[in-house]
Amino acid sequence: MIHKRVLWSSKFILPAIKQAFIKLNPLFLWRNIIMFVVEVGAAATLIIAAMHFFAGIPYNFDLYISIWLWFTVLFANFAESLAEGKGKAQAESLKHGRSDVYAQRVKPDTESEVESVPALMLKKGDIVIITDGMMIPSDGEIIEGVALIDESAITGESAPVVREAGGDKTGVTGGTKVLSGTIKVEIRTNPGETFIDQMIGMIESSKRQKTPNEVALEIFLISSMILFIVVIITLFLFGVYLDFKISTTVLIALLVCLIPTTIGGLLPAIGIAGMDRLLSYNVIALNGRAVEAAGDVNVVLLDKTGTITLGNRLATEFIAAPGITEKELARFAMLSSLADDTPEGRSIVILAKEKLQIHGRDIRSPVGAKFIGFRAETRMSGIDVNEVQIRKGAVDAIENFVKARKIIFPAEVRQAVERVANEGGTPLVVVDQKTVYGVVYLKDVLKEGIRDRLLQLKNIGIISVMITGDNPLTAAAIAAEAGVSDFIAQANPSMKLKRIKKYQQDGYMVAMIGDGTNDVPALAQADVAVAMNAGTQAAREAANMIDLDSTPTKLLDIVEIGKQILITRGALTTFSISNDVAKYFAIIPALFVEKCSMLSVLNVMHLASPFSAIISAVIFNAIIIPLLIPLALRGVQCQQVSVEYLLKRNLLIYGLGGVLLPFIGIKLIDMLVVWLGWGL
Amino acid sequence: MLGTWLFQIVTLLFLLTACAFFLGEYMAKVFSGERTFISPILAPVENFLYKLFGIDPNEDMNWKTFAMNVIFFIFVGMIALFFLLRMQDSLPLNLNNFKAIRWDAAINAAISFVTNSDWQPYKSEAVMSYLTRMLGMGLQNFLSAATGMAVAVALINAFVRKNTPGIGNFWVYLTRSIIYVLLPLSIVLSLFLVSQGSIANLNPYVHIKTLEGKEQIIAQGPAAPQIAIKQLGTSGGGFFAANSAHPYENPTPITDYVNILALLLIAAAFPFAFGALIKDRSQGWAIFIAMMLLFIIGLWFVIWSELHGNPLLTKLGIHNGVNMEGKEVRFGPLASAFFANSATATSAGAASSSYDSLMPLTGIVLIFNMAIGEVIFGGVGSGFIGMMFYVMLTMFLIGLMIGRSPEVYGKKLEAYEMIMIVSALFLPCALQLILSAIAVSISAGTSSLGNPTFHGLSEVIYAYASGVGNNGSAFAGLKADTPFYNLTIAFAMLAGYLITIIPALAVAGSITQKNSSPLATRFPTNRPLFILVLVGIIFIIGALTFFPALVLGPVVEHLYILSGKTF
């Protein structure tokens, strides 16, 4: 994660302060109606103060109120600018930091002079030259030449295809490879730029598309503001009827205190900060809707390989044949694997070293040894040392080897082989020309911490579905070990698509992560589709998020970020509305106590004077915004607990806390105001 | 006395719960078209009515068609009632030769009865003929109640259905509401009332000489059936001006008890019908409990406030200072307060005492009951609709707080639903305040005030809360039979009615097309936490909106009484 701790450095603060003033421009502020209303109030009170000044009437009160209303707007603008600045810095560093595939671009205005540019920088209309063995950097059209292209990454078909300029076979796809030939390709899309720019667009609030949930919340906030405007205007008229004259400044102060300025001021910052957090995970969202939908996901499809398991099978256990010690087996298994450079082979050596307690970095191969590599015909590998022929391999291959040498294959070993297979592992049998030593247990090893993460998902009600090409038996064993809720064995693209549709019909929101072109239909169907940056162009187009690191477990982070954005909004909305209770108790008695002294019983905070009460409420209302900026940018903690517990906790903190805190805060500010002599 | 009373209240609430549960189950069967025990008698009637009016009971309406039919229906009802009132002098059954009703009062009365408000600024026995009251008021008491029920059923159905535009057939729900629910219940109730001494005749008014030697006219009429439906249908328009304080309307303490039960019954049955229809009865219980909780809190305040009495009266030597002015001695302060709380919590607006004379804090509860939109049981159907809007708002906030995009009973709440929620919840609040402010700001409004100052403000706020909430009860003291009040309150009633019903149908039309999320993934809306949050949100929204107005009205009055002053 980048730029996590530098939020408060002057690098961000100073530009944000400048932006806060620039954003006072009503044409910008208009987008945030609640803050716009506050600004109108601030301007109106300023005019009133000026009029009082020129008329020779005391104007201090109006001026104080006006100043604090201006601060309220500035604080909100500052929050937004800070989030923007942080996000922009992150996007910039992404732009520069990416070193992807390089392409030979024909310099503009030349015929054939080329320069090397990152594929991400390619724009529509650029012309690139691609020759033998090069990756096609982006989708485009051949304008010159003919080439044999390996499109297996997209079609799964291993036979290469011919593409040539002119005719209807001119299209080439990013991510495919030229096997032979040289072609000139005109780029049709500008992928790198689109993604990053789209992301930057979502960070700049003036360009940002509001998400559906944000729109719904704004409808609620704005209509409650309108209701409060009605409350204030009618209060004024009731006052006139009862002969209580309430000044315009006081009415504006009361209005600003009641309308949800806290959430209204922080709402844009929350949305932007959510994008920032995504970026800090190296994920680019192509629209805000997807980020929000991520919070709603209740089914995630996870590829087994790379997401749940490490991707390679590793040796985890030696099961010795009768009469053989584990150490003997380990030694022979190690010898057979010394030259085996596959991850499986290396893992056998590592495990054997552990069992034999060898600490050396290298184990010298015995003198005169001859390595037997893995061959498709024999399906075994091993080593010949003098007369000894050590072999390891799949059980059927070894059986042939054993049969030829007329040695007995012990029943116990056969049982061990079956047990390993049933548990979802791969058994390798180790023999030499005379003896069957036993079985090496190769296992799909779960990624570290994946069990916990899947458990967290389960706790918050998300169903995890593992997708694997394994047979159902193996799949079931791994699923049980990892703790996934469900699995699709022997999966193919159409099965994935079908399963996603089925979940959606039942009302679930489905997220999936994919890379290959065969994932495209499923990605297009899923509600939240994350494509890995290493994946094909088609997959990236079908997705609504791109994972720049191509780390599949990101999906879980994305879900959390989506939830966090919603929770932060909800918590601050609740807080904002709860605050109104205390503000009523501060301001209402202050309004009427002069004419109707009995109402002083409502002055539960014992605020010093009507003026100090009103000013204190307005100051509290203003300074609560910067105090909550860290929370808005960081997001409310989203623990993986039951929803009822989460609600209870948030209600206690932001609901009850929101009712109580302003009573204390306003009282303290009141004391300060009196001490400063603003109480008049 | 208090112990007996509390015992009676508790038994009544238990009885209410039991009756409402069974009625709810029955209603669920009726509205889903299943056969019930009285189907053999009523099904032919139902089918005959469909044939008579050319209704295709299998037509499934989308929300716009449904809403058009509802609006058509209520406007036809209004116009018919308006002309009936204007022409009653030339129509039969006008035994006392009443004149035609003045135009503004006629508009008010027409809207009032069609919207199930039954606001009556006049003495109905002194101005309206028997025909007017039977064919006009009596009929509308059925039709307006049934309209509310039909809309509520459409909304419930929208939660049951998915991925379809239809929300059901207005005429079918309307017909079934009347003949399966309202008619049978009101027949039973009116027979009971007659057995207790209520009247049902078409005789001319009786002129008698009192002991003092003065002449008194005792009004007669087909009272019992209309009383039955005004209670059951929560319309509350009294047959006599004194409403349920009149001996013919509410002859005995037993009828008082039964009348309160009747007020609450159908509205309380709706949550249960909802639970049965969505096939998760615990959801119905949760809503019922939330309503009951709000009801009991209000009742507790009302009883406390009435028992606390008036220190001024204590000084005058009255035992405990309990204020008996404006109350029927037959019922006393507690029964009167209980009735008042029930009649304002539901949108009935019936009265067994003069609400103007209740203690100020009682007045706060009554205004609050109405101002939050008549959702504490509320009107038949409309109360449930209002409560559903609060449920939606609650689920919106809960959804955010738990990090899910909000949904209610498995249906996603988006911007469109939000617009409808805030329209249905906030517009009525704003409307009440605006109309009250206008009334106290212009002379046409203030000239009607019997008590200028704080209590006058309470009276005006009460009047518009009652109008917008389609309650129909009044703090008397306000002379409301003037063109200004007749027309503004008529507007309040019509607007209050439409801005509940149309958003309800719009939401129904939207969510019926949505897929519904699996049960296991939903936030549990059938547990105490949800109920508490729901009640809390209703309370907070009501309090934040009406705090200033209530402070200037009843709160100041209360403080004056405590300090021993009068106006």
Helices (H) and strands (E) in chain B, counts: 22, 6
Which H/E stretch holds residue A130?
strand A127-130
pLDDT tens digits, one per residue of A399-457:
888 888 888 888 888 888 888 888 778 888 999 888 889 999 888 778 777 888 888 77
Answer yes or no: is A287 within a domain: no
CB contact under 8 A, B422 and A219: yes
- Domain identity same for A430 and A458: no
Least reliable range by pLDDT among A75-79, A83-87, B38-42, B436-440: A83-87
* Residues A321 and A412: beta-carbon distance below 8 Å: yes
CB contact under 8 A, B556 and A507: no
Alpha helices (H) in B99-234, listed in sequence order: 103-114, 124-127, 130-131, 139-160, 170-176, 183-195, 223-232
**pLDDT grade for A67, boundaries at 50, 70 and 90:** very high
Q: Over 60: is that where the pLDDT of A156 sits?
A: no
Spell out which residues of chain B touch residue A655, defining contact as CB-CB under 8 Å: 536
Q: Over 90: is that where the pLDDT of A223 sits?
A: yes
Select, from the ranges A18-27, A366-375, A459-468, the one with the highest average predicted confidence (pLDDT).
Answer: A18-27
Alpha helices (H) in A437-553, listed in sequence order: 450-459, 472-482, 493-505, 520-525, 537-542
A474-496 mean pLDDT: 84
CB contact under 8 A, B454 and A242: yes
- Domain identity same for A301 and A272: no
CA distance B279 to chain A (A): 17
Answer yes or no: is A291 within a domain: no
CA distance B527 to chain A (A): 10
For residue A284, give both structure tokens.
Answer: 């680019």
Cβ–Cβ contact A213 with B under 8 A: yes
Note the pLDDT of residue A334: 86
* Containing structural domain, residue A461: 296-308+447-556
Note the pLDDT of residue B271: 96
pLDDT tens digits, one per residue of A99-150:
456 778 888 777 778 888 877 777 788 888 888 878 777 777 788 888 888 7
Q: Over 70: is that where the pLDDT of A193 sits?
A: no
Cβ–Cβ contact A580 with B under 8 A: yes
Final residue of a domain: which of A529, A556, A583?
A: A556
CB contact under 8 A, A235 and B540: no
CB contact under 8 A, B543 and A564: no
Note the pLDDT of residue B119: 79
Least reliable range by pLDDT among A610-614, B178-182, B500-504: A610-614
Pick from A215, A219, A258 the residue to mutate for testing the B interface (most B CBs within 10 Å). Answer: A219
Distance CA B108, CA A308 (A): 71
Answer yes or no: is A66 within a domain: yes
Pick from B162, B361, B393, B400 the residue to mutate for testing the A interface (most A CBs within 10 Å). Answer: B400
- Total number of domains in chain A: 4
Distance CA A144, CA A165 (A): 5
* Residues A389 and A433: beta-carbon distance below 8 Å: yes
A630-658 mean pLDDT: 85
Closest to A100 in 3D by CA, of A553, A558, A546, A555: A546
CB contact under 8 A, B399 and A508: no
Least reliable range by pLDDT among A50-54, A554-558, B85-89: A554-558
- Total-model pTM: 0.83
Note the pLDDT of residue A1: 37
- Centre a 10 Å sphere on the Cβ of residue A442 and count the other Cβ atoms it contains: 20
Spell out which residues of chain A touch residue B454, defining contact as CB-CB under 8 Å: 242
Distance CA A647, CA A655 (A): 10
Whether A303 is a known active-site residue: answer yes
Select, from the ranges A212-216, A329-333, B289-293, B560-564, the one with the highest average predicted confidence (pLDDT).
Answer: B289-293
A329-339 mean pLDDT: 84
* Residues B158 and B508: beta-carbon distance below 8 Å: yes
Least reliable range by pLDDT among A281-290, B104-113, B179-188, B523-532: A281-290
Closest to B270 in 3D by CA, of B118, B391, B429: B391
Cβ–Cβ contact A230 with B under 8 A: yes
CB contact under 8 A, A643 and B544: no
Note the pLDDT of residue B536: 92
CB pairs under 8 A between A and B: 179
CA distance B344 to chain A (A): 23
Which residue do the tokens 């039991």 mark? B18
Of A242, A567, A584, the CB nearest to B552: A242
For B472-484, what is the HEC assignment? CCCCCCECCCCHH
> Between these two residues, A504 and B566, which has the higher pLDDT value?
A504
Going by the DSSP 8-state scheme, the letter that residue B177 receives in this structure is: I
Spell out which residues of chain A touch residue B560, defining contact as CB-CB under 8 Å: 598
CB contact under 8 A, B540 and A601: no
Alpha helices (H) in A535-553, listed in sequence order: 537-542
Going by the DSSP 8-state scheme, the letter that residue B137 receives in this structure is: I
Note the pLDDT of residue A677: 79
Pick from B162, B361, B401, B527 the residue to mutate for testing the A interface (most A CBs within 10 Å). Answer: B401
Burial B378-408 (b: 16+ CB within 10 A, else e): bbbbbbbbbbbbbbbbbbbbbbbbbbbbbbb
CB contact under 8 A, A570 and B422: no
- Domain identity same for A659 and A575: yes
- Domain identity same for A86 and A225: yes
Answer yes or no: is A119 within a domain: no
Which residue do the tokens 């290959």 mark? A516
* Residues A428 and A401: beta-carbon distance below 8 Å: no
Q: Report the Cα–Cα distance between both ends of chain B, in Å, rounded.
A: 32
- Domain identity same for A549 and A479: yes
CA distance B453 to chain A (A): 6
Of A212, A244, A461, the CB nearest to B414: A212
- Domain identity same for A566 and A521: no
- Domain identity same for A81 and A223: yes
CA distance A646 to chain B (A): 6
* Residues B224 and B198: beta-carbon distance below 8 Å: yes
For A355-399, the DSSP string reads: HHT---S--PPPTTEEEE---TTT-EEEEEETTEEEEEE-HHHHH
Of B419, B453, B527, the CB nearest to A219: B419
- Domain identity same for A434 and A464: no
Which H/E stretch holds residue B367?
helix B360-371
CA distances from A357 to A317, A327, A350 (A): 15, 10, 10
* Residues A276 and B475: beta-carbon distance below 8 Å: no
3-state secondary structure of A593: coil
Question: What is the radius of gyration, based on Cα positions, of chain B?
Answer: 23
In terms of residues, how long is chain B?
A: 567
Q: Over 60: is that where the pLDDT of A6 sits?
A: no
CB contact under 8 A, B437 and A563: no
Residues 476-505 of A with CB under 8 A from B: 504-505
CB contact under 8 A, A564 and B403: yes
Distance CA A380, CA A393 (A): 4
Of B422, B457, B543, the CB nearest to A238: B457
Answer yes or no: is A511 within a domain: yes
Pick from A213, A277, A458, A602 the residue to mutate for testing the B interface (most B CBs within 10 Å). Answer: A213
CB contact under 8 A, B518 and A506: yes
- Domain identity same for A330 and A425: yes
CB contact under 8 A, A507 and B518: yes
Least reliable range by pLDDT among A370-379, A506-515, B368-377, B411-420: A370-379
> Between these two residues, A396 and A287, which has the higher pLDDT value?
A396
Residues 418-437 of A with CB under 8 A from B: none
Note the pLDDT of residue B449: 78
* Residues A530 and A558: beta-carbon distance below 8 Å: yes
Distance CA B360, CA A166 (A): 90
CA distance A530 to chain B (A): 19
- Domain identity same for A174 and A205: no
CB contact under 8 A, A238 and B404: no
Cβ–Cβ contact A22 with B under 8 A: no
> Between these two residues, B495 and B337, which has the higher pLDDT value?
B495
Spell out which residues of chain A touch residue B426, defining contact as CB-CB under 8 Å: 223-224, 226-227
Final residue of a domain: which of A189, A207, A240?
A: A189
- CATH number for the domain harbouring residue A545: 3.40.50.1000
Q: What is the mean pLDDT of chain A?
A: 82
**Pairing status of strand A299-303 against strand A510-514:** parallel
Answer yes or no: is A72 within a domain: yes
Distance CA B138, CA B230 (A): 8
Note the pLDDT of residue A93: 63
3-state secondary structure of A122: coil
Note the pLDDT of residue B316: 66
- C-alpha angle A508/A511/A514, rounded to 5°? 145
CB contact under 8 A, B436 and A234: yes
- C-alpha angle A263/A264/A266, rounded to 5°? 60
Pick from B163, B361, B402, B526 the residue to mutate for testing the A interface (most A CBs within 10 Å). Answer: B402
Residues 653-672 of A with CB under 8 A from B: 654-655
Which residues fall within 8 angstroms of residue B76, CB to CB, at 6 or more apart? Answer: none
Smallest CA–CA distance from B555 into chain A, residue = A599
- Domain identity same for A356 and A384: yes
Smallest CA–CA distance from A599 into chain B, residue = B556
Which H/E stretch holds residue A182?
strand A177-187
* Structure ipTM: 0.90
Distance CA A564, CA A572 (A): 12
Closest to A36 in 3D by CA, of A73, A63, A64: A73
Burial A141-151 (b: 16+ CB within 10 A, else e): ebeebbbebbb
Note the pLDDT of residue A549: 65
Which residues fall within 8 angstroms of residue A353, CB to CB, at 6 or more apart? Answer: A334, A359, A363
Catalytic residue among A126, A139, A276, A303: A303
Q: Name the residue ranges covered by the structural domains of chain B.
A: 2-562
For residue B286, give both structure tokens.
Answer: 């949760």
- Domain identity same for A77 and A36: yes
Note the pLDDT of residue A536: 61
B349-376 mean pLDDT: 80
Q: Over 90: is that where the pLDDT of B71 sits?
A: yes
- CATH number for the domain harbouring residue A332: 3.40.1110.10
Distance CA A145, CA A163 (A): 9
pLDDT tens digits, one per residue of B515-536:
888 887 788 899 999 999 999 9
Helices (H) and strands (E) in chain A, counts: 23, 20
Cβ–Cβ contact A99 with B under 8 A: no
3-state secondary structure of A342: coil
* Residues A278 and A291: beta-carbon distance below 8 Å: yes
Distance CA B270, CA B26 (A): 10
Note the pLDDT of residue A362: 59
Smallest CA–CA distance from B514 into chain A, residue = A507
Spell out which residues of chain A touch residue B399, defining contact as CB-CB under 8 Å: 566, 570
Which residues fall within 8 angstroms of residue A565, CB to CB, at 6 or more apart? Answer: A270, A271, A274, A291, A292, A295, A635
Least reliable range by pLDDT among A555-559, A648-652, B397-401: A555-559
Which residue do the tokens 């190769």 mark? A442
A325-346 mean pLDDT: 82
